Amino acid sequence: MTHSHPSAKQQSTDRPRSVEGTILQRSGVVIVDKPAGMTSHDVVGKMRRIMGTRRVGHSGTLDPMATGVLVVGVERGTKFLAHVVTHDKRYEATVRLGASTLTDDFEGEVLAEASPEALHALTEQDIRDAFAAQIGEIMQRPSSVSSIKINGRRAHELVREGHDVVLPERPVTVHSLEVGEVCLVSDANSDSPHWSATISVHCSSGTYIRSIARDVGDALGVGGHLTALRRTSAGPFDIAESVTLEQLAEAPQLSLSLDEVMARCFPVRDITQEQAQDLSLGKWLAPVGLTDVHAAVAPDGKAIALLKEKGKRAASVFVARPDGME
């Protein structure tokens, strides 16, 4: 028997979960609302201290300037996250049109600035149309300061060493892009005239919002970069259930237990207690005609393993509860 798990909104995430207890009781994920100015690795370092374990890791890196959803695995949850692919993500961002930068965000060196005449010649509709052209299946060149590797080195490391890095375009999907407020900023308090636009983006994993800002600026002939970026969801994990590092320091807790997160991220295959024992020992089960990976859940609600059927076997790709572990 297979079924889908209730959505995040239907689950109770109000009850605090102590980080005390056995390894399995301490295993799961925390949906952190990352603050600006920290790397994702910095967050992991703080979480190790807060949760009292070295076994902490994250999925889906966020730039230091960005805030929002960062999914952090704890204990066995760290190994589990390696099997989770968050196919779609949502962001809210502010784009400044009128200057291009080395990093495609406000932290980078300014490479070129548009003239006031060029900026005043633009209309709000021009800008909305340029953003609309980014919707759909598009070819996108990742930002040069991304974490993509070139011959074993990350692109951003090469850029900071002075190398000229241009990454090849690759296909991404922008499911939707909504433009909010668009305004021309040219008052005395501003360092230079520019257009500002707020956008909400739903996109495939691997899409760079900085690249959208850059490409819209290029299309309009004035340059563009990000001034703010917030991830509001990553796959089934939403900002509404996130917690800050300050809240966690005050009351360390998991957002989702290992049982809950496995059943949220994968369709469920219900198994018997005897089958659960077999899986915990590393044995395989008979296939039942399922495609893709499923979470094998015992009658008591405990998620035992992730299963993938191949030929005459339904074998484990991850065992959450190895025999003898509590």
93 plus 109 within the same structural domain: yes
Q: Is the pLDDT of residue 112 over 70?
A: yes
Please state, in angstroms and rounded to a whole number, the distance separating the CA atoms of residues 82 and 234. Answer: 15
- pLDDT range class, residue 60, cuts 50, 70, 90: confident
Alpha-carbon separation of residue 161 from 35, 154, 158, 165 (angstroms): 27, 11, 5, 10
201 plus 101 within the same structural domain: yes
Q: According to the model, what pLDDT value does residue 175 have?
A: 98
204 plus 244 within the same structural domain: no
Please state, in angstroms and rounded to a whole number, the distance separating the CA atoms of residues 24 and 18. Answer: 12
Strands (E), 98-238: 99-101, 110-113, 136-140, 149-150, 153-154, 170-185, 194-204, 224-234, 237-238
Domain membership of residue 113 (yes or no) is yes
Residue that wins the pLDDT comparison between 324 and 155: 324
Number of domains in the chain: 3
Please state, in angstroms and rounded to a whole number, the distance separating the CA atoms of residues 278 and 309. Answer: 16
Please state, in angstroms and rounded to a whole number, the distance separating the CA atoms of residues 237 and 128. Answer: 29
Q: According to the model, what pLDDT value does residue 17 have?
A: 44
Task: Please provide the size of the chain in residues.
Answer: 326
136 plus 95 within the same structural domain: yes
Q: According to the model, what pLDDT value does residue 11 have?
A: 39
Domain membership of residue 10 (yes or no) is no
Q: Is the pLDDT of residue 99 over 70?
A: yes
State the average pLDDT over residues 202-207: 94
In tens, the pLDDT along 140-199 reads 998 876 667 777 677 667 666 667 777 789 999 999 999 999 999 976 665 678 999 999
Q: Is the pLDDT of residue 306 over 80?
A: yes
Q: What is the CATH number of the domain that holds 283?
A: 2.30.130.10
State the average pLDDT over residues 242-263: 96
Q: Is the pLDDT of residue 135 over 80?
A: yes
92 plus 230 within the same structural domain: yes
Domain membership of residue 173 (yes or no) is yes
57 plus 143 within the same structural domain: no
Helix (H, G, I), strand (E, B) or coil at 278: helix
In tens, the pLDDT along 12-57 reads 334 334 467 899 999 999 999 999 999 899 999 999 999 999 999 9
- pLDDT range class, residue 326, cuts 50, 70, 90: confident
Domain membership of residue 206 (yes or no) is yes
**138 secondary structure, DSSP code:** E
Domain membership of residue 27 (yes or no) is yes
Q: Supply the range of the domain harboring residue 59.
A: 17-86+235-259
Please state, in angstroms and rounded to a whole number, the distance separating the CA atoms of residues 3 and 62. Answer: 32
Q: According to the model, what pLDDT value does residue 146 have?
A: 67
100 plus 223 within the same structural domain: yes
165 plus 219 within the same structural domain: yes
In tens, the pLDDT along 209-240 reads 999 999 999 999 999 999 999 999 999 999 99
Tokens 């008591």 found at: 300
Where in the sequence numbering do the catalytic residues fall? 63
For residue 72, list its beta bridge partners.
30, 58
| Listed range (22-31, 101-110, 251-260) with the worst mean pLDDT | 101-110
Domain membership of residue 310 (yes or no) is yes
In tens, the pLDDT along 311-323 reads 999 999 999 999 8
Q: According to the model, what pLDDT value does residue 1 have?
A: 54
- Torsional sign, CA 253, 255, 259, 261: negative
Pair 112, 118: CB distance under 8 Å: no
Please state, in angstroms and rounded to a whole number, the distance separating the CA atoms of residues 304 and 280. Answer: 7
206 plus 280 within the same structural domain: no
Q: What is the CATH number of the domain that holds 168?
A: 3.30.2350.10
Taking all residues of the chain, what is their mean pLDDT, rounded to a whole number? 89
180 plus 282 within the same structural domain: no
For residue 23, list its beta bridge partners.
none
Domain membership of residue 74 (yes or no) is yes
Q: What percent of the chain has pLDDT over 90?
A: 75
210 plus 249 within the same structural domain: no
- pLDDT range class, residue 71, cuts 50, 70, 90: very high
Q: What percent of the chain has pLDDT over 70?
A: 88
Domain membership of residue 201 (yes or no) is yes
Q: Is the pLDDT of residue 6 over 50?
A: no
126 plus 246 within the same structural domain: no
